[in-house]
Amino acid sequence: MINETHNPALRSWVASANAPGCDFPLQNLPFASFRRQGSQEAFRVGVAIGDQVLDLGAPGVAAALKCEPRVAAALAQPGLNALMALGHAVWSALRLALSRALREASPAQAALQAALLPQSQVEYSLPARIGDYTDFYTSIYHATNVGKQFRPDNPLLPNYKWVPIGYHGRSSSIVVSGQSFHRPKGQLMAPGAAAPVLGTSQRLDIELELGIFVGQGNTLGESIPMSEAEDHVFGLCLLNDWSARDIQAWEYQPLGPFLAKNFASTVSPWVVTLEALAPYRTAPFRPAEDPQPLPYLDTPQNRESGALDIQLEVLIQTAQMKKDGLSPHRLVQTSYRHAYWTLAQLVTHHTVNGCNLQPGDLLGSGTLSGPTLDQAGALMELSAGGKNPIALPNGETRTYLQDGDTVALRGHCSREGTARIGFGECAGTLLPAKST
Amino acid sequence: MINETHNPALRSWVASANAPGCDFPLQNLPFASFRRQGSQEAFRVGVAIGDQVLDLGAPGVAAALKCEPRVAAALAQPGLNALMALGHAVWSALRLALSRALREASPAQAALQAALLPQSQVEYSLPARIGDYTDFYTSIYHATNVGKQFRPDNPLLPNYKWVPIGYHGRSSSIVVSGQSFHRPKGQLMAPGAAAPVLGTSQRLDIELELGIFVGQGNTLGESIPMSEAEDHVFGLCLLNDWSARDIQAWEYQPLGPFLAKNFASTVSPWVVTLEALAPYRTAPFRPAEDPQPLPYLDTPQNRESGALDIQLEVLIQTAQMKKDGLSPHRLVQTSYRHAYWTLAQLVTHHTVNGCNLQPGDLLGSGTLSGPTLDQAGALMELSAGGKNPIALPNGETRTYLQDGDTVALRGHCSREGTARIGFGECAGTLLPAKST
């Protein structure tokens, strides 16, 4: 539902929020968990406005926003879980209060001014304590491209167009943007070899995904119908589900990926609320000749506007590019609108058996490859399984990642006459394998 | 290592602990999180002795045990996570202190007597807050039996004898023994049908497993070598990984089981420490003609005594049996010693890529089927995929579970001249599907 918080004519008294191309204008208002860089302060909830963070835990801020006591208490927590648990009506009211307080000529400016910190001077924790992380597989293009490599005779399995395929991932190794990780070791089985060896992954890949943070949960045994599914979604972030393809190929049957994925996954610090994304809703992609979703995954509203047109990019900056002062190079540009399953369908399917979601749980969209190969969200697709090196502008090439590569995901929504809604950045750097 | 705490000649001043066949003699001392039944008290750490619980959070108990302040603080927590995080040396010292304090003629008797509660008057929470739950697949018999049903042409995949296969499960839906759950709904694809339907699972199964609670964790990016793996294991419990086979068959490719498993998993309340199980160590099962483990999964100690001979049973009590006052019927008897991979191998493999384990994480052994079909830990094996109904003594039959069935897992170690170490019970009851 579009309301006054989306009005593109509104401007903020935080001047940087009004700059063209700013990811965080007054119409966005995403949330993060942050503290002053290098400090030992407790993390606390902040909202992005322009190039600043408004510290929602700072003295006087909750009062200036006229928050109920339970909301003020949630904002003083070290992550977003408590706010997420309060539910959709609270998030919406808080968004409206923030929008009004941060507008030009707001009487709240005096009270909030002291609670602003430049984003350049803060550091982030994970937005929330993630209890369970589920990764889905919502791009039919990715499923087909990858299927061709793992199962040439059988790329798209018969269940794909019926079941929003998902599996459980690892929560403990999810880190926030900006962290580095070591190239993982694992069992590698060379084609035609008699036995596997323990070695360092040589096929270290990215996966361009969106992360969906669950807000209010459901009781074990209860399902969430499609009509209520989106009320359980707090917001979205960027997610890079780093993947070791050689480890994956050997280990993944019959129970799915495990060590190929759980060494690191990176999320962006800012969680963009579903309400902020409302102007960018669109009809989901599903060819007319495909089977229509089973009734429990189908509503008129979902058919009309269940998808989101979020522009996504993958950028790479190699060690050499850093040394030479070259900017990151954009490898890929695509959109979330190509996903085969909508986020409401993911929530409803996940709970159809009574599985309980909890505030702060993270659902990954799966790799968001678009319809053409240059819109693919993983190097195994872009390089055709390592066969076709990707040329970078400085003369380097890549099939999979090399040590020292930094990969950044970016996302935004924009359209003429509508405020830009940005996601910021989700970056990580691959370090060499540990020598031990 | 066997020490004085294992001496079978020692008796407790808690008389019930000395009774033959008692699961919780002085040599066991398992831990749980408990409170008075029906109370609103905070849960706290307890240790089982005979038919009593010693409340380790009660006034004076930590002092009587001469606990360091950090240990006393951990014992006052609502679950075992803090104690688990303190590490192997602390657990071992606490076990010795408990063993001495609970022995006949201990001067601590007066201080501890008031902190005893009958087990019949308490209720349990999960032993620990489970961050991540990983389920393995360590019985080659189960893998082969199941493989025959899902992939008749290819039952045991080529990686099985090299990789301790595992995958991530759902933490949020793990419940403690004694809880009921509803028969789940999900997509079902009948053989030969043109499309799946949303329906109620008709193939609701059990999985007889052990759960392995991680104690001290490891830092993201660091691996745990085999020589240190067992120091990271706090203890073991019973685990029933309820499974909807019809949902599983349709959803599990290519990313593994998901909604077929995450509607409920049940653990026993008592966690038996690895130290208590030391007298029952044995050589792992691995035929000489099979490939030997890769060096990172192999140590002389593991080859000699990496396995545990834990006797396991599955009991069923149908609604009719309850009505007729009939005792539960034992369906299966087997042992954990038949597992193909040891718990040290699970810990080391899980972290070889740098994945971080955390205190309270749960590793499932996978279904512990023994070498013969009557030792199988799942109904899909016992009934040959539903083709051969299992006869119960009262004339009923079962292929999969029926509404109102209660299934209980039990486990114990025993040998002439060595104290019995019991696990208590892990029970759950299947309720009809919700009508909505």
Q: What is the pLDDT of residues B194-208, one digit of tens each?
A: 999 999 999 999 999
Any idea which architecture A133-431 has in CATH?
Alpha-Beta Complex (3.90)
Mean pLDDT across A5-32: 98
Q: Which residues of chain B lie closer than 8 angstroms to A170, CB-CB?
A: 132, 168, 355
Q: Which site among A153, A258, A435 would you substitute to test the B interface, given the most B Cβ atoms closer than 10 Å to its Cβ?
A: A258
Q: Hey, which residues of B are catalytic here?
A: 142
Q: Containing H/E element for B411?
A: strand B406-415
**Average pLDDT of every residue of chain A:** 97
Contact B186 A352 (CB under 8 A): yes
Mean pLDDT to the nearest integer, A155-181: 97
Length reported for chain B: 436
Portions of chain A given CATH number 2.30.30.230: 4-125
Give me the mean pLDDT over the A157-166 stretch.
97
The residue with tokens 């993982």 is A184
Supply φ then ψ for residue A218, to 5 degrees.
-130, 155
Residue B114, pLDDT above cutoff 70: yes
Mean pLDDT of B142-160: 90
**Dihedral angle computed from the Cα positions of residues B367, B370, B375 and B381, in that order, rounded to the nearest 10 degrees:** 50
Determine the average pLDDT of the residues in B12-31: 98
Burial class, B152, CB count within 10 angstroms (exposed 0-12 / middle 13-18 / buried 19+): exposed
**pLDDT, mean over chain B:** 97
B chain contacts of residue A357, beta-carbon cutoff 8 Å: 172
pLDDT for A153 equals: 84
Write out chain A residues lying below 8 Å of B166, CB-based: 255, 258
Residue of chain B with shortest Cα separation from A431: B221
Angstrom distance (rounded) from CA A286 to CA A340: 6
A203 by Cβ neighbours in 10 Å (0-12 / 13-18 / 19+) ranks as buried
A147·B250 Cβ contact <8 A: no
Share of chain B above pLDDT 70, in %: 100
Q: Where along chain A do the CATH 3.90.850.10 domains lie?
A: 133-431
Chain B: residue whose CA lies nearest to A133: B170
Return the number of CB contacts < 8 Å for A and B. 205
A233 confidence band (pLDDT: 50, 70, 90): very high
- For every residue of B336-404, which 3-state class applies, written as one string? HHHCCCCHHHHHHHHHCCCCCCCCCCEEECCCCCCCCHHHCCCHHHHCCCCCCCEECCCCCEECCCCCC
User: Does the distance separating the beta carbons of A264 and B223 come in below 8 Å?
Assistant: no
Residues 6 or more apart whose CB falls under 8 angstroms from that of A433 comprise: A182, A183, A184, A185, A200
Is 0.95 exceeded by the ipTM? yes
Position A149 confidence tier, pLDDT thresholds 50, 70, 90: confident
Strand intervals (E) in A58-144: 116-118, 122-124, 133-136
pTM of the prediction? 0.97
- Minimal Cα–Cα distance from A193 to chain B, Å? 12
Provide CB contacts within 8 A for B216, sequence distance 6+: B84, B85, B86, B87, B88, B231, B232, B359
DSSP type of residue A5:
G
- What is the pLDDT at residue B154? 82
The string of pLDDT tens digits covering residues A109-128 is: 999 999 999 999 999 999 99
Candidates A248, A353, A355, A365, partner chain B, best to mutate (most B CBs within 10 A): A353
Cα-only R_g, chain A? 22
Residue A436 has pLDDT above 70, yes or no: no
What whole-number distance in Å separates Cα of residue A346 and Cα of residue A361? 13
Query: Could you tell me which of B255, B280, B243, B254 has the C-alpha nearest to residue B379?
Result: B243
Active-site entry in A6, A142, A232, A349: A142
pLDDT tens per residue, range B230-266? 999 999 999 999 999 999 999 999 999 999 999 999 9
Q: Per-residue pLDDT averaged across A10-36, rounded?
A: 98
With vertex at residue A377, the alpha carbon angle to CA A374 and CA A378, rounded to the nearest 5 degrees, is: 100
Instruction: Find all residues with CB under 8 Å of A228, minimum gap 6, and list them.
Output: none
Which among B137, B146, B151, B255 is the top mutation candidate for probing chain A, defined by the most A β-carbons within 10 Å of its own β-carbon? B255
- Contact: A254, B252; criterion CB under 8 Å: yes
Candidate from B147, B252, B352 with C-beta closest to A185: B352
Token look-up 């539903």 returns B386
Backbone angles phi, psi at A311, to 5 degrees: -75, 135
pLDDT tier for residue A347 given thresholds of 50, 70 and 90? very high
Contacts (Cβ under 8 Å, ≥6 apart) of A387: A399
Distance CA A261, CA A254 (A): 16
pLDDT band of B377, cuts 50, 70, 90:
very high
- The number of helices, as runs of H, and strands, as runs of E, in chain B is 12, 26
For residue B101, what are the CA distances in angstroms to B61, B87, B251? 10, 21, 53
| Model confidence at B290: pLDDT above 90 | yes
Q: Which of B220, B183, B247 minimizes the C-alpha distance to B355?
A: B220
pLDDT for B1: 76
The stretch B300-320 carries a mean pLDDT of: 98
Would you identify the CATH topology of the domain A4-125? SH3 type barrels. (2.30.30)
Confidence band of B385 (pLDDT split at 50, 70, 90) = very high
The dihedrals phi and psi of A81, each to the nearest 5 degrees, come to -55, -45
Contact A211, A363 (CB under 8 A): yes
Q: What is the average per-residue pLDDT within A299-312?
A: 98
Judge contact between A371 and A175, C-beta under 8 A: no
Q: Which residues of chain A have a CB within 8 Å of the CB of B220?
A: 172-173, 175, 181, 263-264
pLDDT at B436: 62
Contact A352, A221 (CB under 8 A): no
d(CA A134, CA B261): 13
Bridge partners of A303, per DSSP, are none
pLDDT digits (tens, 9 = 90+) for B39-76: 999 999 999 999 999 999 999 999 999 999 999 999 99
Whether A31 and A53 have beta carbons less than 8 Å apart is answered as no
